[in-house]
Structure 1
Amino acid sequence: LLNSNFTTDEHIFKLNSNELLSSIFTSFLPCFSYKTNEDILKLKFEELFLALLYSKNNQSFLSFLKTIITNFKLSLYQIFSYCEQDFQSVNDMAKISNMSLTTFSKNFKQSFGISPKEWLDNKKFEKAKFLLEFSNKNITEICLEVGFNSPAWFISRYKKRYNKTPKQFQKSKNLYFLH
């Protein structure tokens, strides 16, 4: 529907009331009177959105949506620079971005200057370094917690990256080992 060629100069659209929209708006009223589960509210808004999207005279609503999509597209840099989510794989990152793996990888490299795999590994190593310094977990536990499958691979990559094994770093920085 959004690929249709509807254009308008209006920034606000008018809703033509009908029985369906009236019933949807009426069904919202109890949600504001009582403490309503957030998931129920999301479903109510989704119901309203779909009713507007598939209504007979939806040109102004479609134009409104196109304006939002065009003007508020976030770049991958904006999405992933501030993202607090721990991703397990590049595939998970691509899904969040609503892109194919190939398109995502290409766009990500353009935005960050490194591959998404390298970015993901950097995040995992940062978290591992923090855990090595401030927890009493062993190397294998930390390796698995940050998302690396092989402790041997983790140790060799960590040493290559930081010129110390994880255990050497942990012993030099962690208060649990400074006795």
Structure 2
Amino acid sequence: MLLRFPQSIDKCDEDVLQSATVPIARYRQATAAGRRTSFITEHTLLFVLQGHKLLHIGDQTYTAEAGHLLFMKRGIYTLSEFVPGGLDYQVLLLFFTDDLLKKFLHNYGFATTKTVTAATHLVLPSNELLDSFKTQFMEYFGKRIDGLESILQLKQQELLLLLLSGPQRQEVLAFLQGIVFGQPLDVGYIVKTHLFQPLTLEELAKLSGRSLASFKRDFQQQFRCPPKKWINEQRLAHARMLLQHTDKQVAEIALECGFENIPHFIRIFKQEYGITPNADRAKKAIV
């Protein structure tokens, strides 16, 4: 199952600082080697406190270690590889919503009317002020303080101002402006890019920079078909090809094609082709 992060975080976890609606920060520790693929559901800034791990984003690989920060745009997939030499790995993660970034840029005079394209991620060197911020922020975990949510929101703004006061100011500003003021992405591009990932229509709409209603309307205009119907047709066609030309198990094929619920996959496959996946494979073998 695809891990959605930070959406999947347990709100009751003591290592999570939570607002009324969304997580603001998390402290995480990894003590065992392994791999994990995550879909980033909020813009995320990563501070490594100790140890290191390999982080694969697209065709690029980074060593996440102390001394650097990694700012990741919502909507990307990461493969985290915890390696024996990097344990004990400890990290502080801060999460930024679209609304928070938009208000920040407007309030501090960084709004722009220009179209800016945001990179998917940004690697930045740390400095003395950022290290001091990181150390102080860790003190909030496990504390019960009146007005903590407001304090944490101010700390998020402080961090953004610190990033904009450093030598990478222009890179950081372009990254933030690209997130907030970038043009909505083509719906076809978004859907085809994430076709075989188990994302909801709401998640796809958010990735495209649209409301769900606007996403459905624009998709219908472009493909002359409702998005859910088109997506299922494409996934099922690919699943049928894998059934007929590979020896992969039905459950494996379902997951590979974006279906996390195996019984649901079998049911809609039969609705589409009039036959179950296993029966379709057997029929092909006989022919």
The TM-score with structure 2 as length reference comes to 0.35
Where does residue 40 of structure 1 map in the other structure? 123
Q: 2:223 aligns with which of 112, 116, 133?
A: 112
Unaligned runs of 5+ in 1: 7-37, 54-61
Pair member with larger Rg:
1
- Structure 2 vs 1, CA of residues 153 and 75 (structure 1 numbering), >3 Å: closer, same or farther? closer
What's the secondary structure of 1:40's corresponding residue? strand
- Two-structure CA RMSD over aligned residues (Å): 4.1
**Alpha-carbon displacement from aligned partner over 1:77-100 (angstroms, at most 9, x marks no partner):** 3x2475365331212321221112
Match of 1:97 among 204, 208, 215: 208
Does structure 2 conserve the Cα–Cα contact (< 8 Å) formed by 1:109 and 1:115? yes
Tell me, yes or no, if the aligned pair for 2:195 and 2:231 is still in contact at 8 Å: no
**CA displacement 1:66-125 (0-9 Å, x = unmatched):** xxx78xx76423x24753653312123212211122221221112111122112212221
Matches of 1:169 and 1:108, distance apart in 2: 31
Who is 1:2 aligned against?
Answer: 112
Counterparts of 1:158 and 1:52 in 2: how far apart (Å)?
45
**Corresponding letter in the other structure for 1:40:** V
1:1-179 to structure 2, matched below 5 A, reads 1-3=111-113, 39-40=122-123, 47-50=169-172, 75-77=186-188, 79-80=189-190, 83=193, 86-88=196-198, 89-173=200-284
- Cα distance, 1:85–1:147 mapped onto 2, change above 3 Å: closer
Change (3 A) 1:149 1:40: closer
Counterparts in 2 of 1:166 and 1:40: CA distance versus 1, 3 Å = same
User: Which runs of 5 or more residues in structure 2 are unaligned?
Assistant: 1-110, 115-120, 125-162
Are the counterparts in 2 of residues 87 and 120 from structure 1 also a CA contact under 8 Å? no
* Over 3 Å off, 4+ runs: 38-41, 49-53, 149-153
CA distance 1:141–1:49, change in 2 (3 Å): closer
Instruction: State the partner residue of 1:10.
Output: none
Aligned length: 128
